[in-house]
């Protein structure tokens, strides 16, 4: 009997142990790893919003972002995960270049952003649209300055649908890769590919003869290729935007994670589309994305496992101490930038953090409407170009896509109200000129009054059809419009909107001097269709390149840029329209900085932003009213009713 009892106890204990072992094995089936990610840094090497406050000694640093802080966060998480025997991958989804003045170092022969990303431990990145801001030749030099193709061993460049010509350095030196497989210490093989999206391609500045393959077909091919190479988990580095990422996930099976960029969306929770996890970390280094992942080798399932102590987005702010080694590198690049800016401004500015103006309020950027910052920028373009050329400038034009945000003055006690050179050009410093220097060049052309009237009709269409990137800001004119009249109707079979060309209800051009009044009629005259008088217009090279396309798409709204004598300009001869001085192009950012410095000075000797720019100034006014189609419908209903009454009265 005792033997039986002992046997029963022993068997029970073995069963318990076996059961425990089974449970442990089931739990152990899930292999864990972490992806850290950023996107759309836009050369934001230093903390910002505004950068001037980072120099304050008056208390806690209120600024956000900065590469040195991100470096610290990455190191801390890597250390944490090493102690847990969990591997970490760090990815970048493109647009690390172009935005702040640090991006200007790229055409000057430096690779600040890319060199720093390597030192910060990024495993792979893809190429965004702003990497092309200075053209494909500068991009190739930029990568080679950062040590590529050898540097692919540190930070792999993966751009699967990007195809440079065979004789281009990016292709010849095999700098760009289609895919890569990262073998993690716990046995997981992570396959990675990269895409540039449709919208991102449409807003690239200069891609030369590069070809961008179909996204869906490329994704299917890359998934198949990576699976054949034994990938367990497939990650896409996508510079496309959330909307395109969701559509891609719907159409392509087998992508486990999409690390996104382009639309600057801060996804505090992943989007789950089918079996695909979509993540994105906002923009300009405000966040470090962190997603904890578990992979089941038996089922192939991949799932996020972040708990309440592991947010998907880590705020990068003053609570994070900057990494000392990365900080030293940034200081060295800052010295190089100061030297470059001194050269570019002819000695006017030799320190990018030098305050150039004061303000009691932010000069706001507003989407899909007239904005104070748009007014400030276009006023600078109009008035400073007039000063440089010695000729009256009637109208200046800028698109919201080139305006990168609000100009924000300092808020700390010792920086309060101060706006440095850096914070101004961060808002309006994009682009590149054929003179070899960063910044969009100012162009000077002439349009008739009739063409200006057409142009504001085009501006309304762009708002309704193309969104905020193409919304136009103006100086020197004002107009009212009814958005309901922009499109008469959409042709069903062709899905083609039919514009009315009658959305603008009132247009006026300013004939006075200086800042145009926000109210009243003094100094304004009507902007009329059929007016053949020539008006001097300034914009940038990017917008000028689009003007001839208007006539191709909508012949009734054709706009032909002209010389002062009324003859069409030759777009192949930049000497006919690019404004230059002392052998260099006049830049958009330069006109804005000089305009700021030309304002009336306060008691401390610094110029002060006029109160005029604290709010909108009545330049672009949406008016309410019924549409032409509604009028037509009412008219048709009236006619029908009249005929019905006539019929009833006559026959009954």
Parse the chain into domains and list their residue ranges: 27-325, 357-624
What is the number of other CB atoms lying within 10 angstroms of the CB of residue 40?
Answer: 28
Whether residue 368 has pLDDT greater than 50: yes
Is the CB of residue 431 less than 8 Å from the CB of residue 403?
no
pLDDT of residue 546: 85
pLDDT tens, residue by residue, 572-616: 999 999 999 888 999 999 999 999 999 999 999 999 999 999 999
Tell me the C-alpha distance between 425 and 420, whole Å: 9
Is the CB of residue 249 less than 8 Å from the CB of residue 268?
no
Is the CB of residue 265 less than 8 Å from the CB of residue 280?
yes
pLDDT of residue 624: 85
Radius of gyration of the chain from its Cα atoms, rounded to whole angstroms: 29
**Which helix (H) or strand (E) covers residue 579, if one does?**
none
* DSSP-based helix, strand, coil % in the chain, nearest 5: 40, 25, 40
CA angle 91, 149, 76 (to 5 degrees): 30
Q: How far out from the chain centre does Cα 267 lie?
A: 16
Q: Cα dist. 512→385, 508, 594 in Å?
A: 16, 12, 21
Report domain 357-624's class: alpha beta
Segment 322-350 shows an average pLDDT of 97
Residue 133: both structure tokens together: 């801001």
pLDDT of residue 466: 85
Is the CB of residue 441 less than 8 Å from the CB of residue 585?
yes
First to last CA, the chain: 113
DSSP-H helix ranges across 554-622: 588-597
Residue 64: both structure tokens together: 């956000």
Segment 359-381 shows an average pLDDT of 97
Segment 4-15 shows an average pLDDT of 36
Q: Which of 421-430, 456-465, 543-552, 576-585 has the lowest mean pLDDT?
A: 543-552
Q: Which of 166-170, 286-290, 520-524, 551-555 has the lowest mean pLDDT?
A: 551-555
pLDDT of residue 501: 85
Segment 54-73 shows an average pLDDT of 95
Residue listed under structure tokens 């006109």: 591
pLDDT of residue 238: 98
pLDDT of residue 640: 60
CATH, domain range 27-325: 3.60.21.10
DSSP-H helix ranges across 177-275: 198-202, 215-228, 242-251
Segment 1-30 shows an average pLDDT of 40
Segment 199-220 shows an average pLDDT of 95
Q: Is the peptide bond before 402 cis (omega within 30 degrees of 0)?
A: no
Tell me the C-alpha distance between 564 and 556, whole Å: 23
Tell me the C-alpha distance between 216 and 331, whole Å: 43
Whether residue 478 has pLDDT greater than 50: yes
Whether residue 625 has pLDDT greater than 80: no
Segment 185-204 shows an average pLDDT of 96
């Amino acid at each position: 009997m005792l033997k039986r009892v002992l046997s029963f106890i022993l068997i029970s204990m073995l069963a318990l142990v076996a059961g425990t072992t089974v449970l442990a094995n089931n739990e152990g089936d899930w292999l864990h790893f972490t992806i850290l990610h950023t996107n759309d840094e836009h050369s934001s090497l230093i903390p910002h919003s505004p950068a001037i406050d980072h120099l304050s000694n008056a208390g806690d640093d209120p600024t956000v972002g900065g590469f040195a802080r991100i470096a610290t966060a990455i190191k801390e998480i890597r250390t944490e995960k090493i102690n847990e025997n969990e591997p970490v991958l760090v990815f970048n989804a493109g647009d690390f270049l172009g935005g702040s003045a640090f991006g200007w170092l790229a055409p000057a022969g430096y690779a600040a952003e890319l060199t720093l990303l390597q030192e910060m431990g990024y495993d792979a990145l893809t190429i965004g649209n702003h990497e092309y801001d200075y053209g494909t030749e500068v991009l190739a030099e930029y990568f080679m300055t950062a040590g590529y193709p050898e540097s692919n061993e540190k930070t792999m460049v993966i751009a699967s649908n990007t195809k440079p010509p065979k004789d281009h350095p990016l292709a010849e030196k095999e700098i760009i890769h289609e895919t890569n497989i990262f073998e993690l210490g716990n046995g997981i093989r992570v396959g990675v590919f990269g895409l540039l999206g449709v919208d991102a391609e449409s807003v690239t500045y200069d891609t030369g003869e590069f070809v961008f393959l179909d996204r869906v077909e490329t994704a299917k091919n890359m998934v198949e290729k990576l699976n054949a190479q034994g990938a367990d988990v497939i990650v896409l580095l996508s510079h496309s935007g959330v909307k395109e990422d969701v559509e891609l996930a719907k159409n392509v099976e087998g992508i486990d994670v999409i690390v996104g960029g382009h639309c600057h969306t801060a996804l505090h929770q992943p989007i789950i589309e089918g079996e695909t996890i979509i993540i994105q970390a906002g923009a300009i280094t405000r966040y470090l994305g962190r997603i904890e992942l578990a992979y089941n080798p038996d089922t192939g399932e991949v799932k996020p496992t972040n708990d309440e102590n592991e947010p998907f987005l880590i705020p990068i702010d003053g609570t994070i101490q900057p990494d000392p080694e990365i900080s030293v590198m940034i200081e060295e690049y800052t010295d190089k930038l100061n030297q470059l800016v001194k050269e570019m401004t002819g000695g006017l500015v030799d320190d990018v953090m030098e305050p150039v103006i004061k303000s009691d309020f932010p000069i706001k950027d507003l989407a899909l409407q007239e904005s104070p910052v748009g007014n400030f920028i276009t006023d600078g373009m109009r008035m400073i170009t007039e000063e440089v050329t010695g000729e009256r400038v009637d109208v200046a034009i800028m698109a919201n896509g080139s305006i990168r945000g609000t100009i924000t003055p300092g808020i700390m006690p010792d920086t309060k109200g101060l706006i440095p050179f850096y914070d101004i050009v961060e808002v309006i410093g994009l682009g590149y000129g054929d003179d070899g220097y960063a910044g969009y060049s100012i162009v000077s052309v002439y349009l008739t009054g009739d063409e200006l009237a057409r142009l504001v009709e085009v501006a309304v269409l762009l708002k309704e059809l193309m969104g905020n990137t193409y919304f136009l800001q103006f100086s020197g004119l004002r107009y009212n419009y009814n958005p309901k009249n922009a499109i008469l109707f959409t042709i069903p079979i062709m899905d083609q909107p039919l514009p009315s060309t009658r959305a603008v209800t009132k247009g006026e051009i300013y004939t006075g001097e200086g800042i145009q009044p926000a109210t009243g009629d003094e100094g304004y005259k009507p902007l009329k269709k059929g007016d053949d008088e020539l008006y001097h217009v300034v914009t940038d090279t990017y917008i000028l390149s689009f003007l001839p396309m208007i006539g191709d798409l909508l012949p009734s709204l054709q706009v032909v840029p002209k010389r002062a004598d009324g003859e069409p300009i030759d777009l192949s001869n930049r000497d006919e329209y690019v404004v230059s001085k002392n052998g260099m192009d006049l830049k958009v950012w330069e006109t804005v900085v000089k305009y700021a410095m030309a304002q009336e000075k306060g008691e401390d000797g610094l110029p002060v932003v006029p109160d005029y720019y604290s709010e909108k100034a009545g330049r672009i006014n949406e008016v309410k009213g019924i549409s032409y189609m509604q009028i037509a419908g009412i008219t048709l209903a009236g006619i029908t009713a009249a005929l019905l009454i006539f019929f009833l009265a006559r026959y009954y």
